[in-house]
Amino acid sequence: MSRKVFFDTDPGCDDAVMLAMALGHDGIDVVGLSTVCGNTTIENTTRNTHAILALGGYDVPVARGCGRPLVDELDTAEWIHGENGLHGDIPDVDGDTRDIHGADAIVEAAHEYGDELTIAAVGPLPNLAIALAKEPRLPDLVADIYLMGGAAMTTGNVTPMAEANFHNDPAAASRVLQDADPRMVGLDVTNRATVSPEFIEEFREAGGVRGTIAEWLDYRPDSGTYPLADAPAIHDAAVVADIIDDSVLGFEEYYIEVDTTGGPCHGAVICDEHGTTDNDPNGRVAVDIDVAHYRDILETGVRAYVAD
């Protein structure tokens, strides 16, 4: 049986792969999408979301969300993801964006689908933070809330300590960790959520839509290297893989919070690994990943997204 999932996303190349994987895989029913600023501006992430849907021939409601962090200044990453935030030959479509804010779309979906729904927030978190402020019962209404963000017991990827999504809006991430009882899928596992070079080359050689997906997969071609791995990590896709099969990731419960003080650890996750605070756990942190199983699920979904 497929899982109903609402995605809050900021496409971005790894978001694009994740959405292609989720749309194509029969284990996921994508019931709605909200966009947020992050990898690029809200105008671009919304347009890119419509383009990803159009490229695969899918029709999913899209709601535009926050165009800036709750407190901090937006720091985009076109230098990684390409001009307008997405590599490849993507269709120039405006799409039919709903006349509802992304945060309200999250709350609406929670009330419509209840405990059949999983929320997956894979960008900065202002939409989800606002949704929690408007509907504090949100974690009790839905089956699960997944986040892609943070670095609990490893180093960061935009500062020595902070991961990009949390660093882009630490105040929102802090609110979500306090209130959402989330599954936090951070760099502790997603740095290992790589795709095989052979899969990328297969799609690159095929050209067309598959060639565009190859550019999403190999999203840092100018650098020639990938941090901590010999292949690109598709961070967001680890969330989808575990929603499809919860044996992909291993979780442990910890007390976690986010540094919002503006110092050198701004946006970093503080994880009470050894229980020194005596605070009760408030989240489940992904600590292990079955890379081979993750790759199998990713490849199955992405292949089906462009099935002939």
What residues act catalytically? 235
d(CA 11, CA 46): 8
d(CA 247, CA 172): 29
| Residues in Cβ contact with 166 at an 8 Å cutoff, skipping those fewer than 6 apart | 124, 125, 149, 150, 173, 258, 267, 268, 269
Q: Under DSSP, is residue 297 helix (H, G, I), strand (E, B) or coil?
A: helix
**Angle at CA 136, nearest 5°, toward 28 and 169?**
75
DSSP symbols for 25-46: -TTEEEEEEEE-SSSS-HHHHH
Instruction: Please count the CA atoms within 13 angstroms of the CA of 257 that sit on its side-chain side.
Output: 8
Beta bridge partners of 270: 257
Q: Count the Cβ atoms, other than its own, within 10 Å of residue 31.
A: 18
128: closest CA among 173, 75, 81? 173
Structure-token pair, residue 191: 């740095």
